[in-house]
Amino acid sequence: MADSSKPRPVYRNIHITQILSYRLPLAGIVSILHRVSGVIMFLLLPLVIWLFDTSLTSEISYERFTSAFIAGIGFVPAALVKLAVLGLIWGYLHHFVAGVRHLWMDATHSVTQAHGRSSAVLTFAISLPLTLAFGAKLFGLY
């Protein structure tokens, strides 16, 4: 077996501490941001359910829901609430579009380098403008 001396390829995860030192291709950036956005939404889940709870339970709680964006929640200022919600908006949009991209790749096997790049461009082209639009609305720019 002459082949056995050939070094076998090694595949490993990029560790979280190495992310910044790698120059990732655009598809790689979409991929790591898919994870980052998932973690953000996982950690902010109680905020999502708090918003779900106060906006639905009664008209009195609905007042608390709307005032969270004006007066804040308890000791948390409104600006921080808005920032967290902006994070959720971006997280949801990116995760949604990148997720549909995944389903698309699963269904069509469009996994060439060129496809990966063009669909990554499309992912950002959809998620970022929508984030800007919702974010501007959130911060009362229109």
Instruction: Give the binding site for another protein (CB under 8 A).
Output: 13, 15-16, 35, 38-39, 41-42, 45-46, 49, 52-53, 55-57, 59, 62, 96, 99-100, 102-103, 106
3-state secondary structure of 62: helix
**Least distance to another protein from the beta carbon of 16, Å?**
5
Q: Which is nearer to another protein, 6 or 12 (CB)?
A: 12
**Least distance to another protein from the beta carbon of 46, Å?**
6
Please say whether the beta carbons of 127 and 94 come within 8 A: yes
Q: Which is nearer to another protein, 57 or 77 (CB)?
A: 57
**Least distance to another protein from the beta carbon of 102, Å?**
8
Other Cβ atoms less than 10 A from the Cβ of 30: the count is 24
3-state secondary structure of 73: strand
What is the sign of the dihedral through the CA atoms of 95, 100, 106 and 111?
Answer: negative
